[in-house]
Structure 1
Amino acid sequence: MEEFDLQLCLDGSSSTFNLEKVVCNHGFFMMAPNQWIPSTKTLRRPLRLADLSSSVEEQVTRMLRLLERDEHNVNEFHKVHPEAKDKGFGRVFRSPSLFEDVVKSILLCNCQWKRTLEMAQALCALQLELSTRGSKGKKRRREKDGALPIPAETEGKEVDLGNFPSPKELANLEADYLQTECNLGYRSKYIVKLAREIEEGKRKIDEYEGVQDAASCRILIQRISGVGPFVRASILMCLGFYDEVPWDSETIKLLKHVHARERCTKKTIKRDLKEIYDKYAPFQCLAYWLDLLEFYERKFGKLSELSHTMYHTVASSTQIRESNHPPAI
């Protein structure tokens, strides 16, 4: 793995930026290949070097939300939520690429958090295996001779799990092979289909980054197979649109415990969210995410200080099923 030093100028973001707070506020930072190191308060993960340092800078800038648009959103959010400003919250961690955000959002659905973590780790293990095989990986797409080994996590040590697979790497596989190797259930066919559409030029999701309004972006996202309301809201959040809350069973638990909505259910959740968070429009999701983050940290302590061996305990509920998805496998 090639390593080199890269310095990013924060410019106008310096007053609102704190690495620990920017990274350790979303479950994505716990998902492979991300490795947060509490002792040094640093983030470790592989990045793609197609364009060397310039590519790395773009990926890091995206992950940490250092674009001018991000800074604008933070400042506007702080105007309607001064408490968030006092707590240094406003940037929600995301992946180096929108493709990784989309796939990880799909992995969040219809299962317990522990399995979500396992599926992300399995995908990175598969990427590492395919990258070391080279052309042999294409042949294995038709083999049915067992699962790839997943490196076991070692207490107190950093583990190399490979990178998150690219569309090109996944488009080369069959859905049943991906399911066999990574145990993704029904998600395999959606992920492979998306990867192939990207590689064939049928779906240019990178262009979604330049869409200026949430309504247009919402329409584009809904055209992705396997995307229901939760995944859509999660992707919108990753793209910097915060008017839609990605709610699930953890949201119901939050509203019951934090906002005294004891009778909150799947039938009332949309109304409850509207009544609580619409005063923060168009940043409802950021206000909700701050509540969720503080809810977890009251239970588990600072997430940035939590051992990776305890990540699976943070959200133990099964995610509420997306309405247009089949049952999880």
Structure 2
Amino acid sequence: MTTTLRPRLPFDLAVLARSHGWYDLPPFSWDEGDRTLRYRALVDGRSLALVLRQAAPDGPIEVSSPSAALELDEGAMSVVRRILSLDSDLEPTWELARREPRLRWAADRGAGRMLRSATLFEDLLKILFTTNCTWAATRSMCQNAMALGVAGAFPSPSELDDLEESDWKSKARVGYRARSAKELVRRFESDRGQIERELSRMSSAELSKWLLALPGFGPYAAGQAMRLLGRFESLALDSWCRSRIAELTGRERSDEAIEKVYGEYGDSKGLILWLDITRDWHEREGADAHRAELGQKFSRRKRARASKGGARG
């Protein structure tokens, strides 16, 4: 049985799938040629395979499951809506994007929605697995964690609650993250979605404080989590973000300079930064013009600072 979704337009499943690296981590898989996203989730205690396909941008999304003989129930569709960030209202960001040529592609294609896992717990544990390591190591940790749960799906906290730190190190091979992983499991062990609902009612400052209090979560990890939760006030800079800005603008930029340039976008600054540094994942044309416009933006800020005797940029 296939269920049809008609998301708020613009919506391009290819842009959503490749919004960040989750599509490359199990249990996700993305078929670019067939424009099909696959995922396996735990729904009411059962492992459910989900297949999402959009034949063309702005078209309907066909949702099916080889695991379900009948129509997908509300539990399954709730997972689909979370995965696709269908609750995100990005019109304020797109309005900013329409004002600048280098960003108009984002408004035209509906870029900015983030691919998310079925649960906040899965997203947070994966973020923990991205800290201070290569992407290959992140993939390995995710694969090892997958082996600890129901076949094919990312394990729930209840499936992991018996693991000791030594198990996290020997079985999941997460290294020093073992203590943080165990504590994250403890915090979410009895969660049925209420934690995310409570977080949605927090101010961004309160949410940031809550995330920073999680074991193993510094400014980078907290910023990444906020992005997945639809809060874009943080730039969440890491070495990759800094290197991309340097590549796009022709030179290294200080964190202060990056903050000044993107600060003008207000609460959307973290997302605007992300759209700039990931543009070439989605758009093959206009790369030179994009680099030139972004470089000029940094240069104008530097000249303005220099005229006031400011610091380097």
Counterpart residue number, 1:287: 272
Counterpart residue number, 1:77: 93
Q: Bigger shift: 108-117 or 203-212?
A: 203-212
- Aligned pairs for 1:172-187 (under 5 A) are 172-187=162-177
Any stretches of 5+ residues in structure 2 without a counterpart? 46-71, 99-103, 285-313
* Structure 1: distance between partners of 2:170 and 2:185: 18
What code does the residue aligned with 2:5 have?
L
Q: Assess if the C-alpha contact under 8 Å between 1:17 and 1:88 holds in 2.
A: yes
Counterpart residue number, 1:29: 23
Q: CA deviation at 1:200?
A: 5.4
Say which of 185, 188, 206 aligns to 2:178. Answer: 188
Q: CA deviation at 1:7?
A: 3.0
Give the root-mean-square deviation of aligned CA atoms: 2.2
- Asked whether 1:58 is paired with 2:55, we answer no
> Deviations 1:103-131 (Å, cap 9, x if unpaired)?
1111111001111111111111222xxx3
* Structure 2: distance between partners of 1:98 and 1:88: 23
* Structure 1: distance between partners of 2:280 and 2:240: 10
Q: Which has the higher contact order (CA 8 A, sep 6+)?
A: 1
Counterpart residue number, 1:273: 258
* Structure 1: distance between partners of 2:145 and 2:84: 23
Q: CA deviation at 1:212?
A: 4.5
Counterpart residue number, 2:4: 7
> Deviations 1:12-33 (Å, cap 9, x if unpaired)?
x1x2211111111211111111
Give the secondary structure class of the aligned counterpart of 1:126: coil
Counterpart residue number, 1:255: 245
* Structure 1: distance between partners of 2:21 and 2:237: 14
* Structure 2: distance between partners of 1:225 and 1:286: 25
Q: CA deviation at 1:164?
A: 1.1
> Deviations 1:137-168 (Å, cap 9, x if unpaired)?
xxxxxxxxxxxxxxxxxxxxxxxx62111111
* Structure 2: distance between partners of 1:29 and 1:61: 16
Matched length: 251
Q: CA deviation at 1:87?
A: 4.2
* Structure 2: distance between partners of 1:295 and 1:275: 23
Q: Assess if the C-alpha contact under 8 Å between 1:32 and 1:121 holds in 2.
A: yes
Seq. identity, % = 26
* Structure whose alpha-carbon radius of gyration is higher: 2
